[in-house]
Amino acid sequence: MHLQGTMVINERGRLVIGGCEVVQLARDFGTPLYIFDEDCIRENCRRFYQAFNAGSGRAEVIYAGKAFLTTAMCRIIASEGLGLDVVSGGELYTALAAGFPVDRIYFHGNNKSYAELCQALAAGVGRFMVDNFAELELLSRLSVERGQVAKVILRVTPGIEAHTHEYIRTGQIDSKFGFTLPNGQALAAARRADELPGIEFKGLHCHIGSQIFELEPYSEAATVMMELAAAVKEATGLVTAELDLGGGFGIYYSAGDEPRPVSAWAAAILTRVEAEARRLNLPQPRVLVEPGRAIVGPAGSTAYTVGSIKEIPGVRKYVAVDGGMADNIRPALYGAKYEAILANKANLPPAERVAITGKCCESGDMLIWEAELPRIESGDILLISCTGAYGYTMASNYNRLGRPAAVLVRDGVADLIIKREDYSDLIRNDVLPARLVRTC
């Protein structure tokens, strides 16, 4: 396994994150446990902030909260000067509860409800990332009713195919997201935004997909979107002051993943936008990017306790841990590959090849099909790295497993940032109708 962020192996052969022994964290907080390395999160924020020169006001880095969002995470993101992309009333509520600067909140979503739009207008979010005509009309009506003007960025489907899993590909024409560019809908949306009261057009947005390693789709997106900006200007006179090229920057999960340095993404995007602005004789837009995974993915890991071990001679050795698809659905959903280490035997060489499985009642509940690990025993603490993004946020209570706790570690101190769900949490929303009360 690649050691990420502040991970080191100490003289006792134990894995340490943020100055805390993982074995000790498991003892203190129980397992499964999400462990977030604060220095690593901050370092990733700074890499983006600096590479895009966000302090200059010519670019902004917006953290995509869907990757991992809690009130503590909001505080970290806010203190690093990033904006925040929220996609639901729940994410917005979290950000507001954390006191996130409201003008730096970008409200996404392909089906924002009436209630969510009202909530966002009342809060005064910085930008509405409008996804479709119905939303545009409704937002206009609601803004006018409230005597407000909503600052709007139009989400566009540019017709760019990125090489990534089809479930997380979003730039292609056949997509549920955004106004389609090639068939003229995006331009029509800009015209409508221009006509409607209560709407101030600020710019254009696209997000081509996630876990992308190539630079070319981003520069291509920049060209296509700048050409749209030129068409919008010609048709309406509207200036695209902000161009948001989304997130999706690929990270390391397992051998074979070769992420680019952030500076390479930044250079590819910024140079292309500048060049296109010159070519098309447009003012330079402020460039926005929305990394989620690249900020928090490598900074999070999950510690499990090894339980039952089943060896089928000549076939496979199944090592079961006390979590699984309920706390990390990505292997089952996308075939995502991860790496693991035994936190209590971190300095021992690999001795066997095993399959790491979860405790859910499904054969598909596999975390890693092939892991090379030292001789493994029940009671060992197994840590899977790079689970920080879309692990907790996609977790479920399948099989009535409580969602794990999360701790934030830094300089030898571990702070709880999400409590473990206990059995009472699991039945908290259950309602027993009166007619069933007397049945047993």
Distance CA 284, CA 239 (A): 10
Q: Which is nearer to ligand LLP, 29 or 52 (CB)?
A: 52
Known active-site residue 361 = yes
Q: Which is nearer to ligand LLP, 64 or 69 (CB)?
A: 64
Least spacing, CB of residue 210 vs ligand LLP, in Å: 3
- Is position 272 an interface residue for ligand LLP (rule: CB under 6 A)? no
Tokens of 327: 């706390």
Least spacing, CB of residue 234 vs ligand LLP, in Å: 27
Distance CA 365, CA 320 (A): 10
- Binding track, positions 388-407, relative to ligand LLP; x by CB under 6 A: -xx---x-------------
Chosen residue from 9, 142, 144, 168 binding ligand LLP by CB under 6 A? 168
- Is position 290 an interface residue for ligand LLP (rule: CB under 6 A)? yes
Least spacing, CB of residue 178 vs ligand LLP, in Å: 9
Q: Which range, of 24-32, 59-67, 138-146, 356-364, touches ligand LLP by CB under 6 A?
A: 59-67
Angle, alpha carbons 142-147-151 (nearest 5°): 70
- Is position 67 an interface residue for ligand LLP (rule: CB under 6 A)? yes
Please provide the DSSP assignment of 287-322 as one string.
EEE--SHHHHTTTEEEEEEEEEEEEETTTEEEEEES
Distance CA 257, CA 179 (A): 32
Q: Which is nearer to ligand LLP, 29 or 392 (CB)?
A: 392
- Is position 164 an interface residue for ligand LLP (rule: CB under 6 A)? no
Distance CA 184, CA 303 (A): 49
Least spacing, CB of residue 106 vs ligand LLP, in Å: 9
Ramachandran sector of residue 114 (left: φ over 0; alpha: ψ -120 to 50; beta: rest): alpha
Number of Cα atoms under 13 Å in the Cβ half of residue 261:
6
Residues 221-250 that bind ligand LLP (CB under 6 A): 246-249
Distance CA 13, CA 405 (A): 25
Residues 190-209 that bind ligand LLP (CB under 6 A): 207
Chosen residue from 44, 210, 219, 223 binding ligand LLP by CB under 6 A? 210
Least spacing, CB of residue 246 vs ligand LLP, in Å: 4
Q: Residue 214, Cβ neighbours under 10 Å: how many?
A: 14
Q: Which residues contact 324 (CB under 8 A, 6 or more apart)?
A: 357, 358, 359, 360, 365, 367
Q: Which of 40, 118, 206, 361 is catalytic?
A: 361
Count residues binding ligand LLP (CB under 6 A): 23
Chosen residue from 17, 64, 150, 196 binding ligand LLP by CB under 6 A? 64
Beta strands in 359-430 (DSSP E): 366-373, 381-384, 405-410, 413-418
Q: Which is nearer to ligand LLP, 127 or 345 (CB)?
A: 127
- Binding track, positions 93-132, relative to ligand LLP; x by CB under 6 A: ---------------x------------------------
Per residue in 349-373, is it b (16+ CB within 10 Å) or e — as a string? eeeeebbbbbbbeeeebbbbeebeb
Q: Which is nearer to ligand LLP, 247 or 402 (CB)?
A: 247
- Binding track, positions 343-382, relative to ligand LLP; x by CB under 6 A: ----------------------------------------
- Binding track, positions 70-99, relative to ligand LLP; x by CB under 6 A: ---------------x--------------
Distance CA 54, CA 289 (A): 10
**Contact call for residues 359 and 320 (beta carbons, < 8 A):** yes
- Is position 218 an interface residue for ligand LLP (rule: CB under 6 A)? no
Number of Cα atoms under 13 Å in the Cβ half of residue 119:
18
Per residue in 104-134, is it b (16+ CB within 10 Å) or e — as a string? bbbbbbeebeeebbbbbbebebbbbbbbbee
- Is position 60 an interface residue for ligand LLP (rule: CB under 6 A)? no
- Is position 298 an interface residue for ligand LLP (rule: CB under 6 A)? no
- Is position 294 an interface residue for ligand LLP (rule: CB under 6 A)? yes
- Is position 47 an interface residue for ligand LLP (rule: CB under 6 A)? no
**Contact call for residues 211 and 165 (beta carbons, < 8 A):** yes
Chosen residue from 42, 202, 272, 293 binding ligand LLP by CB under 6 A? 293
Please provide the DSSP assignment of 71-92 as one string.
HHHHHHHHHTT-EEEE-SHHHH
Alpha helix segments (H runs only) across 147-195: 185-195
Binding site for ligand LLP (CB under 6 A): 64, 66-67, 85, 108, 168, 207, 210-211, 246-249, 290-294, 330, 334, 389-390, 394
Catalytic positions, please?
361
